């Protein structure tokens, strides 16, 4: 079975500061990993995904994440936060093979202070 | 429409009543998922339909919950004899192919917010 743990249900940063949202996964087989973002009163949308190609994955809106097998991590970063980045972020995992639905983490709410 | 459509967007019901939530996936998407989003709990997987295969029902929390997908398109999630703990946002998503086939992107609807009084 696969699972993800997101450390920190709330993260607050200043505008222009580095954003770091943490995600650790557990999977018995090579995983596919995803980050989704949910803006207020909207559905989730895909930020980026790792599917066993490059370990550093670039997504939309300047976000990127690095797959580190040795640390079983897939942390999300952005060099400089913008007010519009305020949202809830979800890490998700699925086995790389087989027909299984995504397992999501509990989410991290990002606040950006002016 | 171009995206995943869910109805109703809001539903208030009394404890013990049955409710039906509808999901219209993106045309041509073979995979359809239902998730439940409760406050502070993240997204909880409920059920997954992939083409004509038997659905993965492993996430349904009790036998009061059921879902069907007619004609490989529209899906209905039914909750019988609702309880207060069923209050949540129910999210539907679809993808062009299943997650096992290259990690297809999920496209989510805006959800149906259920409140059980």
Residue A65, classed as helix, strand or coil, is strand
pLDDT at residue B1 is higher than 60: no
State the pLDDT at residue A98: 55
DSSP output for A13-42: EETTS-EEE--EEE-SSPEEEEEEEE-TTS
Mean pLDDT of A7-24: 96
Closest approach of B16 to chain A, Cα-based (Å): 28
User: Which of B103, B105, B113 is best to mutate for the A interface (most A CBs within 10 A)?
Assistant: B103
pLDDT digits 0-9 by tens, A58-79: 999 999 999 999 999 999 999 9
Higher per-residue confidence, B113 vs B100:
B113
Contacting residues for A91 by C-beta, under 8 A, at least 6 apart: A4, A6, A21, A23, A25, A33, A34, A35, A74, A76, A104, A105
User: Which of B25, B57, B99 is best to mutate for the A interface (most A CBs within 10 A)?
Assistant: B99
pLDDT at residue B41 is higher than 80: no
DSSP state of B104: P
Q: Which two tokens stand for residue B107?
A: 């496209």
Closest approach of B96 to chain A, Cα-based (Å): 13
**Chain A residues closer than 8 Å to B44 by CB:** 104
Helix (H) or strand (E) holding A108, with range, is strand A108-113
pLDDT band at A103 (very low <50, low <70, confident <90, very high): confident
pLDDT band at A97 (very low <50, low <70, confident <90, very high): low
The reply to whether B105 touches chain A by the CB within 8 Å rule is yes
State the pLDDT at residue A29: 75
- CB-closest option in A34, A43, A103 to B91: A43
Closest approach of A5 to chain B, Cα-based (Å): 11
State the pLDDT at residue A76: 98
Q: Distance between CA atoms of A8 and B42, rounded to whole angstroms?
A: 13
State the pLDDT at residue A43: 86
Mean pLDDT of A6-32: 92
From start to end of chain B, where are the E strands?
5-7, 10-13, 19-24, 31-38, 42-50, 65-69, 75-79, 88-95, 107-108, 112-116
Q: Are strands A10-14 and A108-113 parallel, antiparallel or unpaired?
A: parallel
Q: Distance between CA atoms of B77 and B67, rounded to whole angstroms?
A: 4
Q: Distance between CA atoms of A49 and A26, rounded to whole angstroms?
A: 16
pLDDT at residue B97 is higher than 80: no
pLDDT at residue B68 is higher than 60: yes
């Amino acid at each position: 079975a696969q699972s993800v743990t997101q450390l920190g249900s709330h993260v607050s940063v200043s505008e222009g500061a580095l954003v770091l949202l943490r995600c650790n996964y557990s999977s018995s087989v090579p995983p596919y990993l995803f980050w989704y973002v949910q803006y207020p009163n909207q559905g989730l949308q895909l930020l980026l995904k790792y599917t066993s190609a490059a370990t550093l994955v670039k997504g939309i809106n300047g976000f990127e994440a690095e797959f580190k097998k040795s640390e079983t991590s897939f942390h999300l970063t952005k060099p400089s936060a913008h007010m519009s980045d305020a949202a809830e972020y979800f890490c998700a995992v699925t086995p790389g093979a087989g027909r299984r639905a995504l397992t999501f983490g509990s989410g991290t709410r990002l606040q950006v202070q002016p | 429409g171009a995206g995943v459509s869910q109805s109703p967007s809001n539903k208030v019901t009394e404890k013990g009543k049955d409710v039906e939530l509808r999901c219209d996936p993106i045309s041509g998407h073979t995979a359809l998922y239902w998730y439940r989003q409760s406050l502070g709990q993240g997204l909880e997987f409920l059920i997954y339909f992939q083409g004509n295969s038997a659905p993965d029902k492993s996430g349904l929390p009790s036998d009061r919950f059921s879902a069907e997908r007619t004609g490989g398109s529209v899906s209905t999630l039914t909750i019988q004899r609702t309880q207060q703990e069923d209050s949540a946002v129910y999210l539907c998503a679809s993808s062009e192919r299943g997650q096992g086939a290259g990690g297809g992107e999920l496209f989510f609807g805006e959800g149906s917010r259920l409140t059980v009084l």
